[in-house]
């Protein structure tokens, strides 16, 4: 995620870090070059352009396209914001479990430490699952050797083992059934966070929705020089480039927000949030706490 102060006028004009411009520059330059060809053709063979459509039809189409584009970007941002709230909820649950376990299990240090480490293992496994990494390798440092080996979903196996440990503590009389229900509710909340994150990752926006927008933007920008060249002349390429930058830039930004768990510049800083959960657990265990991740060149991973 890009983290930087509000830019001044000079930074607005020349900042590339965090800008969507590098991604859409080939498209924008290609359309500007095409607009140059259209203007040159009209001036060289004016008889081939006996009638100009003017800007009127393009204004109506552009307005409709802008509204449609805003709907798509709103849908993509909703996914991004929901994902951020889910990981914020994960941090809250980790803090709550750390406090509760330390308060309820002061006399059973083995169970307390194992349960706390499983919370960090769950966060690491979920991080790996959402980014397509090795879940078993991510949870292994926090668990007893071989505990998650062979599990279909190591992240879910961590929660299953945590519930089993708490149930065993209840049967031994270490905690009562009411306290077990409180802790199990928190484990269920972690499972719900995992399911919601998996839903976002595995359910993209309908492809036809994106295809319709992309096609319309291309057709609009390809026909726009024909409508503008008669009135703007050689200023047409600049106008086409500005319109293309707006449409395709918003489209590219929507693509990044649609998949919030990736590693694009505008995706969520999962590494930083995972480090926060690990710090909560290690602090509760009384072990050295790592420094929080800081942005590097304005990019927080």
What are the φ/ψ torsions at residue 296 (nearest 5 degrees)? -115, 115
pLDDT score of 290: 85
pLDDT score of 198: 94
Given a contact cutoff of 8 angstroms between Cβ atoms, the answer to whether 287 and 279 are in contact is no
User: What does the pLDDT look like over 166-179, one tens digit per residue?
Assistant: 888 888 887 888 88
pLDDT score of 15: 65
- C-alpha distance from residue 51 to each of 41, 55, 228, 230 (Å): 14, 13, 12, 9
pLDDT score of 1: 65
User: What does the pLDDT look like over 11-57, one tens digit per residue?
Assistant: 566 566 667 778 888 999 999 999 899 888 877 776 666 555 566 67
Residues of the chain with pLDDT below 70 are 1-18, 46-56, 107, 149-150, 297-299
Tokens 């933007």 belong to residue: 217
Burial of 272 (0-12, 13-18, 19+ CB in 10 A): middle
pLDDT score of 53: 57
Residues 6+ apart with CB under 8 A from 136: 148, 149, 151, 154
pLDDT score of 134: 87
pTM for this entry: 0.85
pLDDT score of 4: 60
């Amino acid at each position: 995620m890009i983290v930087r102060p509000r830019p001044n006028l000079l930074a607005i004009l020349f900042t590339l870090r965090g800008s969507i411009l590098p991604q859409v520059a080939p498209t924008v330059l290609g359309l500007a070059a095409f607009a140059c060809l259209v203007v040159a053709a009209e001036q060289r063979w004016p008889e081939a352009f006996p009638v100009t459509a003017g800007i009127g039809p393009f204004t109506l189409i552009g307005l409709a396209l802008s509204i449609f584009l805003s709907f798509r970007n709103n849908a993509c941002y909703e996914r991004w914001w929901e994902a951020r709230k889910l990981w914020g909820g994960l941090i809250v649950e980790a803090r709550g479990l750390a406090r509760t376990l330390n308060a309820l299990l002061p006399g059973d240090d083995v169970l307390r430490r194992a349960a706390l480490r499983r919370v960090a293992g769950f966060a690491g496994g979920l991080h790996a699952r959402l980014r397509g990494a090795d879940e078993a390798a991510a949870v292994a440092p926090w668990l007893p050797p071989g505990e998650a080996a062979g599990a279909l979903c190591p992240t879910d196996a961590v929660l299953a083992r945590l519930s089993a440990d708490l149930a065993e503590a209840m049967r031994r009389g270490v905690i009562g059934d009411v306290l077990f229900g409180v802790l199990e509710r928190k484990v269920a909340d972690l499972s719900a966070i995992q399911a919601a994150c998996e839903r976002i990752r595995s359910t993209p926006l309908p492809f036809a929705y994106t295809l319709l927008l992309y096609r319309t933007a291309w057709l609009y920008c390809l026909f726009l020089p024909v409508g503008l060249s008669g009135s703007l002349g050689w200023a047409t390429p600049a106008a086409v480039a500005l319109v293309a930058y707006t449409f395709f830039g918003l489209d590219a930004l929507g693509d990044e927000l649609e998949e919030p768990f990736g590693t694009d510049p505008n995706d969520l800083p999962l590494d930083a949030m995972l480090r926060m959960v690990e710090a909560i657990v290690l602090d509760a265990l009384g072990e050295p706490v790592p420094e929080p991740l800081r942005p590097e060149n304005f990019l927080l991973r």
